[in-house]
Chains A and B, each alone.
Chain A
Amino acid sequence: AQSVTQLDSQVPVFEEAPVELRCNYSSSVSVYLFWYVQYPNQGLQLLLKYLSGSTLVKGINGFEAEFNKSQTSFHLRKPSVHISDTAEYFCAVSVTGGGNKLTFGTGTQLKVEL
């Protein structure tokens, strides 16, 4: 079975600073990887996803992530954060033949401070 680990439960950062949210996964078969964002009292919104091809994936709101197969990682980055980026970020994985079932990590709370 597949699993996702988000080691950082909270990441504080000052506005306009860069940020990296870490995600590691475990799976015995090929994977698809996703990052979702959840604002307070809202559902999850897709930031970006990796299916195949280029390992650097660009998403909405200036976020990008890089798939590293050897390190089984899919870290999320943004070169300059804004106060409005404060939210919970979830990494998720699905596997080929898995019926589009998403397995989520426990989430990372990004808090952007002035």
Chain B
Amino acid sequence: EAGVVQSPRYKIIEKKQPVAFWCNPISGHNTLYWYLQNLGQGPELLIRYENEEAVDDSQLPKDRFSAERLKGVDSTLKIQPAELGDSAVYLCASSLGRRGRDADTQYFGPGTRLTVL
């Protein structure tokens, strides 16, 4: 079974440029998460989707970040414009999303390492 797929794996851009990351979750997983991982830190949740609905985006900086999950399968996270401080690893994860389950195992992709120059 394929795991969570993310692309690109690495991205280098200049500040003020836009950038987009793509994630394809494990087949059949209803819940999709985007995390931000700064160097030397643990991941921090940016947004969580239940199917097509963003049910928790309280930590997403909405002035420059946006996300979508059309058709409830793959998802795109966008930054426009990028700032120097956005350099980090962006992780996508997915889980079965069974209703009422607060401890479903989350499966992580390899991440996209963004460098903003």
Contact = CB atoms under 8 A, between A and B. Distances in A.
Nearest to A52: B103
Nearest to A9: B40
Which applies to chain B's interface (DSSP): helix, strand, loop or mixed? loop
Indicate the size class of the contact surface on chain A: 20 to 34
Indicate the size class of the contact surface on chain B: 20 to 34
Contact of A32 (B56, B102, B108): B102
Interface stretch (B11-19, B41-49, B61-69, B77-85): B41-49
Contacts of A106: 40-42
Contacts of A107: 40-42
A45 B55 contact: no
Which applies to chain A's interface (DSSP): helix, strand, loop or mixed? loop
A11 interface: no
A98 B37 CA distance: 21
Contacts of A99: 48, 55-56, 102
Contacts of B109: 43
Contacts of B55: 99
B26 interface: no
A34 to B, nearest CB: 8
Given A42-B110, A43-B111, A44-B91, A97 B42 contact: no
Contact of B108 (A45, A51, A105): A45
Interface in B96-116: 97, 101-111, 113
Interface in A55-110: 90, 92, 94-102, 104-107
Interface string B20-58: 000000000001000000001111110010000001100
Contact of A90 (B42, B93, B105, B111): B42
A32 to B, nearest CB: 4
B103 A101 contact: no
Interface of A: 4, 9, 32, 36, 41-46, 49, 51, 90, 92, 94-102, 104-107
Interface of B: 4, 31, 40-45, 48, 55-56, 91, 93, 95, 97, 101-111, 113
